[in-house]
Amino acid sequence: MALAETFRSRTGPAHRRVTEFGQAPAPEPGLSDLHAWVDAIATLTQPDRIHWVDGSAAENDALLRQMVDDGTLIKLNPEWRPGSYLARSHPGDVARTEGRTFIASERQEDAGPTNNWADPAEMRDTMTEIFAGSMRGRTMYVVPFSMGAVGGPLSHIGVQITDSPYAVASIGIMTRVGADVTRKIAEGEPWVKTVHSVGAPLEPGQEDVAWPCNDEKYIVHFPDTLEVWSYGSGYGGNAILAKKCFALRIASVIGRDEGWLAEHMLLIRVIDPEGNRYHIAAAFPSACGKTNLAMLRPTIPGWRVETLGDDIAWLRPGEDGRLWAINPEAGFFGVAPGTGESTNVTAVETLWGNTIFTNVALRPDGDVWWEGLTDDAPAHLTDWQGNPWTPDMDRPAAHPNSRFTVSAGQCPQIAPDWDAPEGVPLDAILFGGRRATNVPLVVEATDWTHGVFMGSNISSERTAAAEGTVGELRRDPFAMLPFCGYNMADYFGHWLSVGQKLRFDRAPRIFQVNWFRRGDDGRFLWPGFGDNVRVIEWIARRLRGTVGAVDTPIGRVPEISELNLDGVDVAQDDLEEIFAVDPETWKVEADLTEQFYATFDGRVPAPLQAELAALRYRLAEAARSSS
């Protein structure tokens, strides 16, 4: 049988439908649970055939060719983007569906107020009902995957069952897929079960659509049994269950139980002109400069940044008293709009080929385009929905959440050891939000507990920023609000307990950064982008103990004269404003923090409540001394 035909054949009972390419692993005692689970899901979903994914290049090529034939993918011009494709999703399936994302823990209080809780028994009944026959007429793919290097000390494995070939191709980029993972399962290594269906069964003779999905959507996590069930969406984190669902929501639960942290963090290595290396993890909510920092190109001569990861980091205390980190992913699933030559040239260079683009615009020459890629839009495009587009139209050519999926190994500044199984020892952790007011450019925490207090209060302003007041805050503690698989107050406590496992002189130092402070006229006070390395340089000198800091009620900030500002033009008044700490507005900030903590019904750890009380005391002292 021709390789491409293995994705079309439909013969025999569902639990026996395998082909000579993609055979089920040979029966052996260690795989009995896997085979039983696959058979159970096949019996429930009733696919026309089963394909066991082996992760080979030949298999991936056949899958991509089949999706082109089926209209799911458009092959891009190989002269401009070799090995690359464009997918156009259904207009109703374009982003994570947070409102339909559930934590089905046995106890509602374990999910906490920031998650949508569901009764696990009731949700299992619902999942059984909607998944029944959901893969009829389709192929069920069994995808064994590893987060982190297969067999690595910080890695974990899982299996995704899906009826979406788009999801299979994406998982192949974002994780390590193949027989090595299956062997680990056979050896008895624990694995996470994830099940996904687009929810669009086909009746005999029914014509398929390019992007099947369902108006009814569920993304359900069962933390007590380490399972994920996703239904109705073929897009992004709703379908690539190894990403947010496993690597954050489920992994955060595993980390809580095993004593480590699964974090929504970038990971970089900074190298100074003398060759000293600093490993930094940073948690930023969306639209706060995360990808730009992950791929930073420093403006200070002699400084370099090597990318280790752009989105997720797993942090584990080591026997040496340090905190070690890996990037568990193998690829980048990045937002396209706003990524361009002037904002992130490294990302643009990463996308030279072998990339799956989703919901971007198509150029007449067979290449892609999105807002921000270039300063000027092409005169004629086909937009993300397949319609003609010109720059004078009042709609974007690319969807605001359009994406690229690409191997991390293609990044031109990827660290040579970015996928080393043991990871790297962290020197610093950064937390940052998008704050037009109040929060200085950089603040150093006085100790680990103070740093956790900072992380628990990360926020961005919705309104009133230009007026210089504290606007309505969108809270996103540790940039994990949508991704923590259990009660966030307990998560804060887990951070405190992890800190107790580290040597005080080897634990990473914690800093809060804010690239987005504005003046009274609404303009940004800091140039940002590549100049953010000037903050990183100050942090590096703090780590070496070669530069001092100024104590303020909220933490330690630089002496302005000790920032390296050579080659950048920032007015002295702007610099003073960017580090100003106003006790009165920070009292408002403290009140808002108290209100936020109160939503957890007394569950916030006492050390963080003590940090809040200490902040109020220091603010009162500062106000008295200035009056």
Query: Which active-site residues does the annotation give?
Result: 288
Q: Is 434 helix (H, G, I), strand (E, B) or coil?
A: coil
d(CA 126, CA 181): 31
For 406, phi then psi, to 5°, come to -150, 150
Q: How far apart are CA 4 and CA 6, in angstroms?
A: 5
Q: Please state, in angstroms and rounded to a whole number, the distance separating the CA atoms of residues 138 and 510.
A: 49
Beta strands in 402-448 (DSSP E): 403-407, 424-425, 428-432, 442-444
Q: Helix, strand, or coil here: 446?
A: coil
- Are the C-beta atoms of 242 and 194 separated by less than 8 Å? yes
- Which residue, among 226, 164, 222, 227, has the nearest Cα to 196 in the 3D structure? 164
Helix (H, G, I), strand (E, B) or coil at 550: strand
Please state the length of the chain.
627
Q: Which helix (H) or strand (E) holds 61?
A: helix 57-70
Which residue, 193, 197, 476, 236, is CA-closest to 336? 236
Would residue 195 be called left, alpha or beta, if left means φ above 0 and alpha means ψ between -120 and 50 degrees? beta
Q: What is the 3-state secondary structure (H, E, C) of 273-300?
A: CCCCEEEEEEECCCCCCHHHHHCCCCCC
Strands 85-87, 139-147: pairing kind? unpaired
Looking at the DSSP assignment, which residues form a beta bridge with residue 144?
Answer: 159
For residues 64 and 165, what is the distance between their CA atoms, to the nearest angstrom? 8
Which region holds residue 327: left if phi is over 0, alpha if psi is between -120 and 50, else beta? beta
Look at residues 38, 232, 229 and name the one whose alpha carbon lies nearest to residue 120: 229
Torsion over CA of 146, 147, 148 and 154, rounded to 10 degrees? -110
Torsion angle (degrees, nearest 10) of CA 566, 569, 571, 575: -60
> How far apart (Å, rounded) are the C-alpha atoms in residues 542 and 509?
9
The kind and range of the H/E element at 77 are: none
What is the distance between the alpha carbons of residues 137 and 202, in angstroms, rounded to a whole number? 5
Return the residue matching tokens 């106890």.
107
Residue 575 contacts by C-beta under 8 Å, 6 or more apart in sequence?
Answer: 525, 560, 563
Q: Is 204 exposed, middle or buried (0-12, 13-18, 19+ CB in 10 A)?
A: exposed
Cβ-contact 354, 407 below 8 angstroms: yes
**What whole-number distance in Å separates Cα of residue 393 and Cα of residue 404?**
24
Cα 189 to chain center, whole Å? 25
- Kindly state the tokens that stand for 155: 């890695």
Helix (H, G, I), strand (E, B) or coil at 619: helix
Half-sphere CA count of 507, side-chain side, radius 13 A: 20
